[in-house]
Amino acid sequence: METKMQIVALPYAVGSLRSYYSMSKISEIELVKYEVPGRGTRLSESISSMRSIIEEILKNIDFNRPYILFGHSMGAYITYEACSIIEEKNFPLPFKVILSAQVPPGKSRIRNMNSIFTHQESIEYFEHLGGTPKEVIENSELIELFTGILSHDLSFLKKYLMTGWTEKIKSNLEIWYGEGDNLIQREDILLWEIHTLGQCKFMPFSGNHFFINELLQSPDKLKRKLLAI
């Protein structure tokens, strides 16, 4: 029997494992059932540190089988640091490390991360990103819930960016980005190549910061992109 490729898919701010459920429709891929604290089935929990999340992630990977690390936006930082610790522990390396819709860590990233959003600022933020259904934006209770998750996620990112990050890893990187993403600049995206001793492959997609949503609706296309060598 052919071994399925495991994929650890780490979410953007406010996102959850549910955001990636369409990956489980790909027969050759097994979506690892790991949920970051503070969302989904772990809504009542809070993120204590980057290291604590990664230790949990490592317990959910079967290192006797091939696997992919994938992270979009906030999840890209978790993915990058997870790869660093995997290298540190001399565990089997991933088939791929995919960092999506994000630029390398740096203190310059802190300036756009307010830890507290007003109700209106939250609505404008979600509308600006373009990944939130209209029915959510128009539902005051859901927006309040999402605003709370967003505030915790941005606080987590601030703490990570202020307390240090890995300067360089050894593994190859695959950088996915939306050509119409107005949150990050292409010249900044290209800086990922100085953060690895391996190869750095850049893959543009049509769309904005949430180009991934369209890709997730096309399982065959997504499979080709994920499993391509």
Indicate the pTM of the whole model. Answer: 0.92
pLDDT in tens, 65-90: 999 999 999 999 999 999 999 999 99
1: confidence class by pLDDT, cuts 50, 70, 90: very low
pLDDT digits (tens, 9 = 90+) for 95-151: 999 999 999 997 556 555 544 556 676 777 677 655 566 777 778 788 888 888 888
Burial class (CB in 10 A: 0-12, 13-18, 19+), 220: exposed
Mean pLDDT, rounded, for 8-13: 95
Gap between the Cα atoms of 79 and 191, Å rounded:
17
